[in-house]
Chains A and B, each alone.
Chain A
Amino acid sequence: MNDVRIDIEVNGIRYERTVDARTSLADFLREQIGLTGTHLGCEHGVCGACTVLVDGRSVRSCLSLAAQAGGTTVRTVEGLGDGDGLSPLQQAMSRHHGLQCGFCTPGFVVAATELLENSAELDDHDVREALSGNVCRCTGYHGIVAAVLEVARERQPATGKAAE
C-alpha cells in the first residue's frame, strides 16, 4: 500500500500519523492536524502562501511530501506568535497595513521570520530579496516591506545571528 508512517513535531507538539504517500506537507498540516493557516495558492511552488519552517528553514509545503517531513520539526504561522499575543513582526504588519485579504499573509510572516532570525542588519533590498518568492495580490508590498524593516531596525542588534 501507499501508506507511510511519520513522526513529526509541529509547533512544539509531536504527532505520529499514517499518511498517504502522495499527501503534501501542506495538506497534512491543513487536513490532518487542523492547521489551516498554511494556505495553498498555486500548488506548484510559485506563490509562497504555503511557506512553513522545516528545521528552521523556509520551505514550500506544497512542494514537500508529508512523508519527507517525517523526523523534522515544523513551525507554521500558528506557532509564530508571541505567547498568546502577536509577535513584533505581526504587530508591525498590522500597523503598516501589510495585509488586506490575508490569504498570502501567513507565507509572508513565515518567510520574514526566517529572515529576521538569520540576519543581523537588513536594508530594503535584503527584505525584498528574502520576500521575492511570496506573492501578494492586494497591497503592492508597501506595508509588508516597511513592517519587516521596522522590526529589523527596532530589535536588539544582538538577536540577529549571521547567516549560515
Chain B
Amino acid sequence: MTTSAPLMGATVPRREDERFLTGRGAFVADLTGPGTWHAVFVRSSYAAARIRAVETAAARRLPGVLAVLTGEDLAGRLGPLGSLHKPQPAFVEAFSFHSAEIDLPCLAIERVHYVGEPLAVVVAESRAIAEDAAELVDIAYERDEPVADARTALSATAPRVHPELPDNVAASLQAGFGDVDAARRRAAHVVRNTFRIGRHSGIPLECRGVLSRWDQARQRVEVWTSTQVPHFVRTAITTATGWPTHQVRVRTPDVGGGFGPKANVYAEEVVVAYLARLLNREVAWIEDRAEHFQATAQGRDQELEAELAVDSDGRILSWSVDYVVDVGAGSLWVAGIIANTALHLLGAYRIPHYRVSGRAVYTNKTIVAQYRGAGRPEACFALERSLDAAADAAGLPPEEIRRRNILRAEDLPHEVPLPYRDGVPITYDGADFGRCLDACLKLLPAETVTDLAADYPDLLLGHGISTYVEATGRGPYESGRARLLPGGTFEIAAGSASAGQSHETTFAQVAAQTLGVPFDAVRVRNGDTDAVAYGIGSFASRSAVVGGSAVYTACRRLRERGRELAAELLDVRPDDVDAVDGGFSSSDGRDIGWERLATELAPGGGLADHQPLDQTSTFSPPTVTWTMGAHAAVVGIDPGTGIVRVLRYAVAHEGGDEINPAVVEGQVRGGVAQGIGGTLLEEFAYSAEGQPQTTTFAEYLLPGTFEVPPTAVAHLHGPADLNPLGVKGVGESGTIAVYSTVAAAVEDAASSAAGRITTTPIRPSTVLALLTETEGEAS
C-alpha cells in the first residue's frame, strides 16, 4: 500500500455524492416503515393564552389511533429542556452578563407562549390518521394579551411573556474599553443610525424529524434524529426523563441541511423518545413544512442603535452600540446569540474606544436558535453600514475608509481588551486583513459596473463592499475516534455530526493522510453517541477545526500505537520502527502493513492478547481562531419596480489551510446564497397578535437559480496555530457580510447617500422610494 499525493488540501471527490445522486440517501423519514407509528403534535393556535381544558376523547376514538397525551399527562414525568450554552465566568464578569431562567415544559401545561408551541401529541398508524386525530383534539383557551415586538416588550407596561419573570429581558450584557465620550468630542463626523435585521432562518430543505424505538433486549432507547448535535439531544433526553445516559443512544442519519436551527434540541425529540419507551413501539415524528414555519427555531431579529465617530481623515475614533435581540418565547442559545454580536462588532478594524450594551427580549413569537452567522451578520451590518455613512460624510470612497482603518500585517496579531465567551482574551490571529480587502476588490472591482452596463441596459447598477471577522472553531472540545478494522481498513467517528458538510470526505482525508493510508482505506461513520461517548456537534464553523483536529489526534495516536505493536512483532525497539505509507518499516528493512497488524490482533494472531487498535481522543482548542474576509457585490435595480438582482458576487477570505478546497468554496458560495435570501427575500412576519403571517413558501421566499449570482472565491492563507491541522472555520464566512455588502451596492445603484438602507430584508418598495427621493434631489 502506498499513498500518492497528499490528501489534505486536495479536491477529493465527495464520498457522499453517489448515494445522494441515485436516491439512496437515508434521511430520517426514509427510515420509517410499515411498523412505524406516527406522532403528530397538537400546537397552540394563539400566541398567548392559558389552557383551560384539553379534550382528547374524540381523537382517542378515531380508528388507527394508539395514544393521545397532553402536557398534563406528562407533567412530573418529563422535565424541561436545559440551556445549551453558558459563558465562562471571565466573560460573565467582563460583560456584566445576566440571563433569565425559564423552563418551558416539553408539552405546554398551563400556558402557551407562541403559535406552534406543542401542547399534546397523537400517535397513530399513519401520519394522515394522526393529523385527522390531532384536528379532533379540542382545546379551550383563555386568551392573554400577546406582545410580538421586542421594543414594546421592553416597556414597563408590556404583558410578560413568562409571568413568573419580573420582565421580558432574557439576557443582558454591557462592556467596552477606552473613553467613548471623550473620543467622540474630537470627532469630525459622527454618524448615528438604527439598524434592523429581520427574522429569518436556515430553512433546511429537509425539515426536522425523529424516529425512536425501545430496544427491549438492551433495555435502552434508540433515537435517530435530524440534528447537528446528537450528543446534546442525548443530554436533553436524559435530563428530561431522568434515564441514565447508557439507556439512550442517539444517531444521525443523513441530515438534509442544518444551518443552526438543527443545532438546537427540541421538545419533539424528547417526547418521541419518551413515547417509544412508554408505548414500546417504533415512533416517528416527521416535521412537515407547515410545522417548520412555527415550530423550528428561527434567527436574527435584531435592532441596533449605533454611533460611529471618525476624524477628518476617516479614522475611527469611537464606536458604540446598543442592541436588542428578539428571542421569541425563548432560546436555549440566548447567551451565545447575544454574546456573538458584542464580540464581533469591532470587525476587522482598529477601534480605540468601544462601548456596547445588548439585551435579549422575550416576545410571543417562535423560539430562536443560532442561524448561520448567529449575531455576526447583525454586528457586521451595523459596523459596515456605519462605515459607508462615515465615508460619505468624510468625502471618502467606501474602500478608502476601510483601507485607512483595517488591521494590516504590522497590526496582527491584534489583541482586544475583552475576553471571548470562553473567557480567553480576544486575539485576532490573522495575517493581513488589508490584503484580503485588496484581493476581493481585485476579484470584483467597482469598474465591473461599467463592464456590465451593456449587458443590463434596463437596470441601474451599483457596487458594494464589506469586511467581516469571525471567531471559529470554538471549544470546549470535540471527540474523534479511529479504529483499525479486520482486514486493515479504518473507521473514523467524530462528535461533530454531518448535516451535509462533507465530513465523510474531509474527515477521511484527514485520517488517511495522518495514518499514511490510501483514502479508500478509511470510512467515516455518521453521528452516533455509541461511536464516541462525548461530543458537541457541528455548528459555529467548528467541525473542521475542532472535530477535524480530534480525528487527527486520534489517528496520530493510533499510528503511534501501531508502531509499538509493529515493533513488538518485529522484536525490535519502537525507535527502530518508522511509520511509512501503508504501515511500518524497521531500520533493518522489514515491513509490517496495517492488514498484517489486523491479522495479528485477531484471535490466534501474535498480538491477540493486546488491546485492539482503537483510539478515541478529544481535542480542546486553547480558544477560538479568527477568520476574516471581504465581500463585494454588483447589483442591478429595476428602476420601474425597485426589485434588486444580485448580478455578481465575490468573497476573499483569510483562513487557514484547506482540507478540501472545493468543500470550502461550496461552504462560501452556499453561505452567500443564504445571505442573499436574508438580505432581499426572507422574513418571518407576525401580526401584532403574534400570528405568523409567513406560513408557506408562497410567503417565505427562498432564493432560486435566478436569485443567486456567480460567486468568485479567493482563499488566502493566514496563520492557524491553535490546532494541529492549521485550519480555520469557514461555515459562516459566506453569510456574515452579505447583508451590508448588498445594501451598499443598492445605495450605489440608486445613487443614494450612503447609510440610507438600514433594514433587511430590503423591500422593493423601499428601493423605489429611495430612487424617487434621489430623483427628487437631482432635479
Chain A residues close to B by CB (< 8 Å): 20, 22, 30-31, 35-44, 46-47, 49, 76-78, 80-81, 86, 90, 93-95, 97, 99-106, 109, 127-129, 131-145
Listed stretches B24-32, B317-325, B583-591, B742-750; interface member = B24-32
Within the complex, what minimum Cβ distance (angstroms) separates A2 from chain B? 11
- Which A residues are in CB contact (< 8 Å) with B499? 101
Listed stretches B166-174, B203-211, B236-244, B489-497; interface member = B203-211
Within the complex, what minimum Cβ distance (angstroms) separates B289 from chain A? 4
Q: Is the CB of B30 within 8 A of A44?
A: no
Q: Is the CB of A43 within 8 A of B27?
A: no
Q: List 19 A-B contacts (CB under 8 A).
A: A30-B29, A36-B30, A37-B23, A38-B23, A47-B205, A49-B205, A81-B22, A90-B18, A97-B665, A97-B666, A99-B14, A99-B16, A101-B204, A101-B206, A103-B257, A135-B704, A137-B702, A138-B666, A142-B708
Q: Is the CB of A35 within 8 A of B665?
A: no
Within the complex, what minimum Cβ distance (angstroms) separates A140 from chain B? 4
Q: Is the CB of A106 within 8 A of B289?
A: no
Contacts A100-B666, A132-B705, A141-B673: A36 and B23 contacting too (C-beta < 8 A)? yes
Q: Is the CB of A103 within 8 A of B256?
A: yes
Q: Is the CB of B24 within 8 A of A137?
A: no
- Which B residues are in CB contact (< 8 Å) with A132? 704-706
Task: Give Cα A46 to B710, complex, Å.
Answer: 23
Q: Would you list the 9 A-B pairs with minimal beta carbon distance, nearest first?
A: A37-B23, A101-B500, A102-B20, A103-B256, A140-B673, A77-B23, A46-B697, A36-B30, A94-B17
- Which A residues are in CB contact (< 8 Å) with B24? 37, 78
The reply on B724 being an interface residue by CB < 8 A is no
**Which of B202, B672, B696, B705 is the most central at the interface, judged by chain A CB atoms within 10 Å of its CB?**
B705
Within the complex, what minimum Cβ distance (angstroms) separates A151 from chain B? 13
- Which A residues are in CB contact (< 8 Å) with B553? none
The contact string, 1 if C-beta is below 8 Å from chain A, for chain B 12-47, is: 011011111111111101101000000000000000
- Which A residues are in CB contact (< 8 Å) with B257? 100-101, 103, 137-138
- Which A residues are in CB contact (< 8 Å) with B674? 137
Within the complex, what minimum Cβ distance (angstroms) separates A21 from chain B? 11
Contacts A42-B697, A138-B257: A86 and B18 contacting too (C-beta < 8 A)? yes
Q: Is the CB of A95 within 8 A of B13?
A: yes
Contacts A94-B21, A131-B705: A36 and B29 contacting too (C-beta < 8 A)? yes
Task: Give Cα A127 to B32, complex, Å.
Answer: 35
The reply on B711 being an interface residue by CB < 8 A is yes
Q: Is the CB of B17 within 8 A of A99?
A: yes
- Which B residues are in CB contact (< 8 Å) with A127? 705
Q: Which residue of A lies closest to B34 (CB)?
A: A31
Q: Is the CB of A42 within 8 A of B289?
A: yes
Q: Is the CB of A78 within 8 A of B23?
A: yes
The count of chain B contact residues (Cβ–Cβ below 8 Å) is 56
Q: Which residue of A lies closest to B26 (CB)?
A: A36
611-657 of chain B: CB within 8 A of chain A = none
Q: Is the CB of B206 within 8 A of A39?
A: yes
Q: Is the CB of B128 within 8 A of A93?
A: no
- Which B residues are in CB contact (< 8 Å) with A30? 29-30
Contacts A39-B256, A128-B706: A138 and B17 contacting too (C-beta < 8 A)? no
The reply on B563 being an interface residue by CB < 8 A is no
648-701 of chain B: CB within 8 A of chain A = 662-663, 665-666, 669-670, 672-674, 696-698
- Which B residues are in CB contact (< 8 Å) with A129? 705-706
221-237 of chain B: CB within 8 A of chain A = none
Q: Is the CB of B205 within 8 A of A137?
A: yes
The reply on B775 being an interface residue by CB < 8 A is no
Q: Is the CB of B702 within 8 A of A93?
A: no
Q: Which residue of A lies closest to B24 (CB)?
A: A37
Contacts A97-B665, A100-B670: A141 and B501 contacting too (C-beta < 8 A)? no
Q: Is the CB of A22 within 8 A of B22?
A: no
Contacts A36-B29, A140-B669: A93 and B697 contacting too (C-beta < 8 A)? no
Q: Is the CB of A103 within 8 A of B205?
A: yes
Task: Give Cα A101 to B667, complex, Å.
Answer: 11
Within the complex, what minimum Cβ distance (angstroms) separates A29 from chain B? 10
- Which A residues are in CB contact (< 8 Å) with B502? 100
Q: Is the CB of A20 within 8 A of B662?
A: no
The reply on B721 being an interface residue by CB < 8 A is no
Q: Is the CB of A102 within 8 A of B25?
A: yes
- Which A residues are in CB contact (< 8 Å) with B705? 127-129, 131-132, 134, 141, 144-145
Task: Give Cα A84 to B704, complex, Å.
Answer: 32
Task: Give Cα A42 to B292, complex, Å.
Answer: 10
Task: Give Cα A127 to B256, complex, Å.
Answer: 24
Task: Give Cα A21 to B11, complex, Å.
Answer: 48
Q: Is the CB of A137 within 8 A of B259?
A: yes
Within the complex, what minimum Cβ distance (angstroms) separates A82 from chain B? 10
Task: Give Cα A38 to B16, complex, Å.
Answer: 17
- Which A residues are in CB contact (< 8 Å) with B32? 31
Contact of B256 among A42, A80, A95, A102 (CB under 8 A): A102
- Which A residues are in CB contact (< 8 Å) with B665? 97
- Which A residues are in CB contact (< 8 Å) with B25? 37, 102-103, 105
Within the complex, what minimum Cβ distance (angstroms) separates B636 from chain A? 15
User: A30-B30, A103-B27, A137-B670 known; 19 other A-B pairs, CB under 8 Å?
Assistant: A36-B26, A36-B27, A37-B25, A43-B288, A44-B289, A77-B22, A77-B23, A81-B22, A97-B662, A99-B17, A101-B254, A102-B21, A103-B205, A135-B205, A139-B669, A139-B673, A140-B669, A140-B670, A140-B708
Q: Is the CB of A105 within 8 A of B30?
A: no
Task: Give Cα A139 to B708, complex, Å.
Answer: 10
Within the complex, what minimum Cβ distance (angstroms) separates B65 from chain A? 16
- Which B residues are in CB contact (< 8 Å) with A128? 705-706
**Which of A41, A104, A143 is the most central at the interface, judged by chain B CB atoms within 10 Å of its CB?**
A41
- Which A residues are in CB contact (< 8 Å) with B19? 102
Task: Give Cα A99 to B18, complex, Å.
Answer: 10
